[in-house]
Chains A and B, each alone.
Chain A
Amino acid sequence: MSVLTISNLTIKHREETLVQNIRLSINEGDWLALVGESGSGKSVTSSSIGGLLPRELIISSGSIHLGGVNLSSLKEKEWRTYRGKAISYIFQDYQGAFTPFMSIGAQFDEMLKTHLNDSKQLRKSRALECLNNVNLPAERVYKSYPFQLSGGQLQRAAIAMATILKPKLLIADEPTTALDSITAAHVLQLLAEQQKQTNCAVLFITHDLRHVRKFANKMAVMRKGEIVESGMTTAVLKHPKHAYTKALIAAIPSLKQTKERLVTI
């Protein structure tokens, strides 16, 4: 069953077209990787799903459906019931995941209060349970301020927050780019576990094909605002059709290779 359907989406900044005529569909339990170089429109697309586009960027045509709801027609007030609850985000910059002067606990509490009518105790125990799930020392992290945690810890706390309300769609916008490779692997592993538990769909924005190969069952390749190729990950990686996809695959630094090769895209 399709969770998210994007049809013919075009996003413009004044006269400039940033995203052109995109179609995407993600099913329950899918992990769809959206791949492409920086500036290809991946992040603009992901922002548009949650209604987080900057004011200057305008959806000029097309629609985004979550279940049966047309998201692109929602008013700011109506968004609240979807953002954080049905759709949640994990961003690249873990520093920016949490407001710096508020404790992690306070921010969990604030979010739960926005969406649920739980008692104070219940909110706290939910948050602690969720932090525990992502292998964090829950009590300590709950009390901590963002600057007291490491990058990996913050990103895990961000995952906990993103999955606490069991969203239908989790958008991970380059969640590991700012982390070192070992921490990144841990974080993605955790994300995969969380997905299994909640059975949500994951839209995974990345430019790292190694992560795609390992975690995503489907992928789409974006270039200059358009999707040039999409399909099952194994199929696309094995038999890329578009020249750009081929170039991307060729650019993966492989451990097996003894000689360093440089491929220009």
Chain B
Amino acid sequence: MKQAGKRLFELVLFLFILSFISFVFMKAAPGDPVRYMLNIDDVSITDEQVEELRNELGFNEPLYVQYWNWLIRFFQFDLGESYMTKQPVLQELINKVPSTLALTFSSMAVMMLIAAPIGTLAALYKNKWIDHLSRIFALIGASVPSFWLGLLFMQLFSVKLGILPAMGKGTFLHLLLPSLTLGIAMAAVYVRLLRSSLLESLGQDFIKSARARGLSQKRIFFFHAFRHSLTPVITIFGVSLGSLLGGTVIIEVLFAYPGVGKLVVEAIVRRDYPVIQGYILFMGLFVVMINLLVDLSYRYLNPEIRLRGGDKG
């Protein structure tokens, strides 16, 4: 729990730094959000109108007052309204979050469906063709840009074969290409990780003891070795979460998939700061949640942590 508390503190500190930086940039960045806002209403803009809106948004207060007010609202989850849609940011996020979560989890499912069997086979048949194949897969997978892979898939499955929709959201089929793209890119890392972790586990003394007890190969592999090898995999998973979440942004833009990632990129392009800040907060919470899940899984995988309440790994 100490570890989780420390992590929470780090995260809050980071959100604070990020909030500060984002606030400073918001103020210093080129492009006046007030003019952007008025532009979309498509009326001739007078200086009075601009001034009025400035006052309304509190843009004429001293900067530190603005920051303080903003910070208080930030931590009260009052994220304000989107400049673009005039919708409350929280509502916008709530509308888009399920799609992104669906994409994230289905990508993880694809990743596991690829990484678990290939990693396992590569470990069991070390230095056989499947192992070499997995090495090449990992090497190429780590080098291929995910958005390009997505483009290739689109070209193949949507344009050439015409069996899967390329863009948008709606059915299960729409989720297939994006999660396939992201899942394959992620699997590259985990195939080799699982392999080396499994090999390490299989070499442990307790595996020899389990064999000496006459347990079946299958039982030893799944209930003893595989479970033991999951700890490092989950650790790396927690650490590499960033690339997964970053990946969802790119993939959502690529497939025009309406999730929070696409939302934030659009907000960035239009300098819609409340939405960007809402996204930052959402990501912070998401990361905290994943870290908690990682901690919980340690507890399940390693009774020593569960019973002693100690911190390991």
A residues with a Cβ closer than 8 A to B are 50, 52, 76, 79-85, 88-89, 91, 93, 95-103, 110-111, 114-115, 145, 147-148, 158, 161
Contact = CB atoms under 8 A, between A and B. Distances in A.
A114 B213 contact: yes
B240 interface: no
Interface residues of B, number: 23
Given A88-B213, A115-B214, A101 B228 contact: yes
B307 A52 contact: no
Contacts of A147: 303-304
Given A101-B227, A110-B223, 14 more contacts: A50-B212, A83-B213, A84-B212, A84-B213, A91-B208, A91-B209, A95-B205, A96-B208, A99-B206, A101-B303, A110-B215, A110-B219, A111-B213, A111-B214
With a 10 A CB-CB cut-off, give which of B204, B212, B228, B303 has the most chain A CB atoms: B212
A147 B206 CA distance: 13
Contact of A114 (B206, B219, B301): B219
A114 B216 contact: yes
B217 interface: yes
Contacts of A93: 205
Contact of B204 (A96, A103, A161): A96
Interface in B133-161: none
Interface in B195-231: 204-206, 208-217, 219, 223-224, 227-228
13 contacts: A52-B212, A83-B213, A89-B209, A96-B206, A97-B205, A98-B206, A99-B209, A100-B206, A100-B302, A102-B224, A110-B215, A111-B215, A114-B219
A52 B210 CA distance: 11
Interface of B: 204-206, 208-217, 219, 223-224, 227-228, 301-304, 307
B296 to A, nearest CB: 15
B289 to A, nearest CB: 25
Given A84-B212, A161-B213, A145 B307 contact: yes
A96 B215 contact: no
A145 B208 contact: no
B219 A83 contact: no
B205 A96 contact: yes
Nearest to B300: A101
A161 B213 CA distance: 9
Contact of B214 (A80, A96, A97): A80
Contacts of A80: 214-216
Nearest to A84: B214
Contacts of B219: 110, 114
Contacts of B301: 101
Contacts of B302: 100-101
Given A145-B307, A147-B304, A52 B208 contact: yes
A103 to B, nearest CB: 8
A101 B228 CA distance: 8
Contacts of B303: 101, 103, 145, 147
Closest 4 CB pairs of A and B: A96-B205, A84-B214, A83-B214, A89-B212
